[in-house]
């Protein structure tokens, strides 16, 4: 192609571009076919730009900027129309969709304490008001603290009361929070009033009411002339603050190696209000018609435990108790399956609002 044909062809393109009505493109597809027509690989302008190398250097210097200018102008027009089409579509959408501006905004999710932490805090709060202070111990314990010092000698059948996880080197995952009693008494001189909340482990099959890892709160009170009446009064106040003043508390003789005498403590059934009968008149499935449910173990500290920590049992006396946090939470909040606590389902966890901590009567 010689330069005058080339220039004519370019003028033809320029004419076509200037007589094209870009506003007639109403959709992105319309605009795309315009782009292909004017700027595509087979578009006249593209062909012209390709064949420019056939012209002499001088001709190119003269004509190339003209062609480039048409190309840039085309690109700008297409770009501008694309924005207009976008706006047209948005305006049309606004006309067909109704916006409810009175809808409340979505609030960001807030973190909250786990229900077991809440229950533990509630229990610690009540006992704190009674003068108990918080103590902790390790989760991996030695045999001496978990058993021997608690008056459970080696080969004693009481060791079978709790199925134990053994760790290399003869240590155990603590089976209860009672070893913290030993640690606290060895560290502090009497009198002493502590609670030890924390995680414990049992080699158990997991089901709706059993977990291999769960939580307890241990209580220990040592002073001169502490009696079983102090134990009864303390636990009754504690349980009423926790479950409500209407509940009844019952003590049954029991056995624990580290206390003598020992008791198991029952609560009047929260599900049938202690009547033993469900609302349909059938036997209550929770308390098995007895009207009571077992809630904790307790007793007067055994003299052998005092001896193991170097307290003189002739001078000091005390009581101790141990209560399961999951058990309390399940009864209070009517949770049927203990595994809910550990499955991290936000729909379960979010149900427990922060409740006001109870006060003593």
Contact 138, 177 (CB under 8 A): no
Q: Which residue's Cβ has the minimum distance to ligand DAH?
A: 322
Name the minimum Å distance from CB 332 to ligand DAH: 19
Contact 154, 305 (CB under 8 A): no
Q: What is the DSSP letter of 224?
A: T
Contact 329, 201 (CB under 8 A): no
**Is the CB of 25 or the CB of 194 nearer to ligand DAH?**
194
Q: What is the DSSP letter of 192?
A: E
Contact 222, 258 (CB under 8 A): no
Name the minimum Å distance from CB 231 to ligand DAH: 9
Closest CA to 67 of 45, 51, 47: 45
**Is the CB of 82 or the CB of 161 nearer to ligand DAH?**
161
Binding site for ligand DAH (CB under 6 A): 176, 178, 218, 256, 259, 297-299, 320-322
Please state the φ and ψ torsions of residue 263, each to the nearest 5 degrees. Answer: -145, 150
Q: Do strands 133-134 and 192-201 pair parallel, antiparallel, or not at all (unpaired)?
A: parallel
**Is the CB of 267 or the CB of 284 nearer to ligand DAH?**
267
**Is the CB of 243 or the CB of 258 nearer to ligand DAH?**
258
**Is the CB of 120 or the CB of 178 nearer to ligand DAH?**
178
**Is the CB of 200 or the CB of 287 nearer to ligand DAH?**
200
Name the minimum Å distance from CB 322 to ligand DAH: 3
Name the minimum Å distance from CB 223 to ligand DAH: 16
Name the minimum Å distance from CB 276 to ligand DAH: 26
Here the tokens at position 275 are 């009547």
- Rounded to whole angstroms, the Cα distance separating 359 from 361 reads 6
Contact 342, 210 (CB under 8 A): no
Please state the φ and ψ torsions of residue 241, each to the nearest 5 degrees. Answer: -65, -35
Name the minimum Å distance from CB 191 to ligand DAH: 17
């Amino acid at each position: 192609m010689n330069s005058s044909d080339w220039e004519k062809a370019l003028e033809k393109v320029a004419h076509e571009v200037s007589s094209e009505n870009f506003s007639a493109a109403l959709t992105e597809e319309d605009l795309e076919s315009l782009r292909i027509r004017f700027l595509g690989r087979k578009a006249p302008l593209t062909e012209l730009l390709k064949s420019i190398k056939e012209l002499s250097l001088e001709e190119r210097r003269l004509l190339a900027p003209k062609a480039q200018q048409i190309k840039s102008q085309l690109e700008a027009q297409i770009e501008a129309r694309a924005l207009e089409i976008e706006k047209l579509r948005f305006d049309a959408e606004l006309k067909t969709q109704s916006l409810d501006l009175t809808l409340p905004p979505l609030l960001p999710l807030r973190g909250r304490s786990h229900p077991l932490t809440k229950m533990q805090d509630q229990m610690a709060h009540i006992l704190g008001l009674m003068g108990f202070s918080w103590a902790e111990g390790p989760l991996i314990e030695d045999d001496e603290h978990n058993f021997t010092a608690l008056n459970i000698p080696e080969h004693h059948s009481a060791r079978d009361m709790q199925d134990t996880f053994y760790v290399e080197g003869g240590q155990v995952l603590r089976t209860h929070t009672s070893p913290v009693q030993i640690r606290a008494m060895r560290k502090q001189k009497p009198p002493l009033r502590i609670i030890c909340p924390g995680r414990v482990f049992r080699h158990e099959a997991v089901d709706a009411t059993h977990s291999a890892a769960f939580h307890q709160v241990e209580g220990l009170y040592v002073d001169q002339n502490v009696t079983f009446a102090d134990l009864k009064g303390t636990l009754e106040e504690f349980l009423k603050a926790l479950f409500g003043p209407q509940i009844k508390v019952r003590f049954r003789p029991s056995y624990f190696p580290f206390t003598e005498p020992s008791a198991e403590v029952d609560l009047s059934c929260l599900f049938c209000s202690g009547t033993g009968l469900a609302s349909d008149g059938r036997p209550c499935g929770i308390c098995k018609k007895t009207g009571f449910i077992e809630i904790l173990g307790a007793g007067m500290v055994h003299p052998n435990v005092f001896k193991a920590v170097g307290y003189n049992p002739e001078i000091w006396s005390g009581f101790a108790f141990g209560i399961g946090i999951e058990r309390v939470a399940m009864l209070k909040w009517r949770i049927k399956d203990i595994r809910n606590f550990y499955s991290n389902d936000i729909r379960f966890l979010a149900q427990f609002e922060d409740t006001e901590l109870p006060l003593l009567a």
